[in-house]
A and B are shown apart, each in its own frame.
Chain A
Amino acid sequence: MKSTKTITFALLSSAVVILFSACGGTEKSTGIDPKVYTDSLFAVMKADRTNYTKLIIRRLGPIGADAISPAEHWKDLENGAPLPAQMFRAGAEAVADLTDKFTYSLQSEWPINKQNAPKTPMEKQGLKFISDNPGENFYGEEKLGTITYFTAVYPDVAVSDACTQCHNEHKDTPKTDFKVGEVMGGVVIRVPL
């Protein structure tokens, strides 16, 4: 009797272990590939960023209806509107309030604010890669603190003369000859693994 119970227990335990292993395997095989995940996130970010630049800033700003004043210190103006890069960063900060499953930032090898220059070895490598290889993205893994991240770097291309004009004329810019269509920086998306 005792041995029957032991055998039953052993069989059940094995079944549970196999079931869990199988579930684990299934989860792994159906999980989203980090590259697809970050590519999808970037698609949304890029669409929103382009739309804000063209539909709001260009249409309502000084080059359009002149109804709003896009400005770095927009909060000081009654009709001030955040610049596209600031709107993008505001989105990144709002996301940080909602989830820690991914983070993103806007960086450049020619930053107006030096704090937005690539900082980690992978950021430096990624920003250089997208600048040297127009149209291509960069993917890698890096350990920051105690966590390993999947890091993707996407080119941030000047979509409007509003982008190039503002950057070329800014007193803190290290580059004054940006042209529409050129890579001005990169969007760095990180997913903790």
Chain B
Amino acid sequence: MKIVWLVWLFFSCAIGAYYLNMIIFAEDKSALLIGKASHGHYQIELACGACHTQAFGGAEAMQNACENCHSAELEASHDSHRKKKFTDPRNADRIEILDARYCVSCHTEHQVEQTRSMGLTLPTDYCYHCHKTIGEERESHAGLTYDSCASAGCHNYHDNRALYEEFLLNNADQAWLHEPAKLDPPNAASLSRPATQQSITQAEADAAQEKINPKIMQHWLSSSHALAGINCSGCHAPTKNTWLEKPGLAVCESCHEQEADGFKAGKHGMRLSNKMESHLGAINVEESPLEFKPEAAHRQQGCNACHSAHEFNTQFAASEACLACHNDEHSLAYLNSPHGELWQRELAGEIDAGQGVSCASCHMPRLTEKKRGKKITRVQHNQNDNLRPNEKMIRSVCMSCHGLEFAINALASQELIKNNFSGKPERHIESIDWAKKRNSSDTAKTK
């Protein structure tokens, strides 16, 4: 009997030591995973500390971790269901059913088999808990099922910037395509350059002679860097007496901070985010569950993955770079789609810059803001920012060229998304019709 106890004690200690070592010392913590992470977090599922910041921090610590990465995005989306709406004691009965103060109440991780679109791990009729009387308040909503609120192209839980009634009315009856449809050129980098900085000639290049390669020299001379007065040492020698053969993200972001922040917030660069203490390194193409070209499997994400070094050709980065890796149905249909054809015409110089539609035109939209009266247009480098839900694209992307109704219908049409918008939307979302009907009946009542 004593031996049995000793054996039990030995194995218990061994198991305890194994997991203690795993938690504290081991670099590979995959044995601790209680389930695969969702599509949003699979890249960092082994950077446990990114979300589990404290061993005994409870729900608040976890919430802080969520907000650490996602709060800016939620703020920018005019989040319709901010946490603060639910901290009011009057909602105590509601949070007993669904605790909307915490992201994980709806987005539980490591339950990939129960994870739906948008990382949702709840039944899709969750709106019912708070909005059960909507059918009585809106004639148009009577009889609608609660699993249709956020899945029919009408509402989203967080981002409703292009879906609220006034916006629908203000943008109703628009033609499907604006004439002329053209994007503003980005000007953020040129505005941040000191006015005194002049372009540089070959003779002024400050790399050691043995480092100079004619092809590289030619690429650099035609790049926006040389034109903006950024010499070889600007990137290769960020500090005195050092020469970096392959300057990385840290050098790029010393000038292109916002672009780097966007890159690190998206799936291309999330592993490199300084918001998490991980040493996973940039993701390789082969680590992604999406469909990629076999020859791209070894490629690793970084600024130069899309912006080839020295040349920094933004036209290449806008489509060719994407198609060098992405191999899904939507990407493969691009070149023969109306958008792709326009892009090829722009590359051929047949139409103006900004009239073509590259991958980046939609997935890395140009965002314009005014600062001290000056219009600044920069490229959003988080290509995932407007993807989930895709209605996020309506304002920042689609409406640059298309009418609202067409945009809503197109983004709700799965076949159209697959064939890269070659054709007409197969779905019609009634939200604009309902808003117009309600508006006209209200106007009639007023008269």
Residues on A lying within 8 angstroms of B by beta carbon are: 72-73, 75-76, 78, 92-93, 96-97, 100, 103, 105, 114-115, 119-120, 123, 144-145, 147, 149, 171, 188, 190, 192
Contacts and interface: CB of A to CB of B under 8 A. Distances in A.
Given A73-B164, A171-B442, A123 B92 contact: no
A103 B370 contact: no
B164 A103 contact: no
Contacts, number: 46
B180 interface: no
Contact of A119 (B78, B90, B442): B90
A76 B167 contact: yes
B84 A171 contact: no
Contacts of B89: 103, 144-145, 147, 149, 190, 192
A120 B130 CA distance: 14
B133 interface: yes
A75 B78 contact: yes
Size bin of chain B's contact surface: 20 to 34
22 contacts: A76-B161, A76-B167, A78-B370, A93-B82, A96-B84, A96-B87, A103-B88, A103-B89, A105-B88, A114-B137, A115-B130, A119-B90, A144-B90, A144-B93, A145-B92, A145-B95, A145-B96, A147-B92, A149-B89, A171-B439, A188-B90, A192-B89
A73 B89 CA distance: 26
A144 B92 contact: yes
B333 to A, nearest CB: 34
Interface string B158-194: 0001001011000000000000000000000000000
Contacts of B96: 145
Contacts of A115: 130
Nearest to B446: A169
B441 to A, nearest CB: 10
A114 B133 CA distance: 9
Contacts of A188: 90
Nearest to B78: A75
A190 B87 CA distance: 12
B307 interface: no
Given A114-B137, A145-B92, A73 B166 contact: yes
Contacts of B90: 105, 119-120, 123, 144, 188, 190
Contacts of B116: none
| Chain A to chain B: the 6 pairs with minimum beta-carbon distance, closest first | A145-B92, A144-B92, A93-B84, A144-B89, A96-B84, A171-B442
Interface in B91-118: 92-93, 95-96
A30 B11 CA distance: 61
A96 B439 CA distance: 36
Nearest to B96: A145
Nearest to A149: B89
A73 B84 contact: no
A134 B161 CA distance: 39
B438 interface: yes
A146 to B, nearest CB: 8
Given A78-B370, A93-B82, A73 B88 contact: no
Contacts of B78: 75
Nearest to A72: B166
B394 to A, nearest CB: 13
Interface string B66-91: 00000000000010001010011110
Nearest to A107: B90
A95 to B, nearest CB: 9
Interface centre among B82, B166, B370 (most CB of A within 10 A): B166
A97 B137 contact: no
A149 B92 CA distance: 12
Contacts of B87: 96, 100, 103
A92 B82 CA distance: 13
Nearest to A119: B90
Nearest to A120: B90
A96 B130 CA distance: 21
Nearest to A97: B84
Nearest to A146: B92
Contacts of A96: 84, 87-88
Contacts of A190: 89-90
A145 B90 CA distance: 9
Nearest to A96: B84
Interface in B416-440: 438-439
Interface string B194-225: 00000000000000000000000000000000
A16 to B, nearest CB: 33
Nearest to B138: A172
Contacts of B438: 171
A41 B137 CA distance: 34
A168 B68 CA distance: 42
Contacts of A72: 166
A73 B164 CA distance: 9
Interface string B330-360: 0000000000000000000000000000000
A192 B87 CA distance: 13
A17 to B, nearest CB: 34
B261 to A, nearest CB: 22
B4 to A, nearest CB: 47
A77 to B, nearest CB: 11
Given A96-B88, A190-B90, 11 more contacts: A72-B166, A73-B164, A76-B161, A78-B370, A114-B133, A144-B92, A144-B93, A145-B92, A145-B93, A147-B89, A171-B438
A8 B56 CA distance: 43
A142 B95 CA distance: 17
Contacts of A147: 89, 92
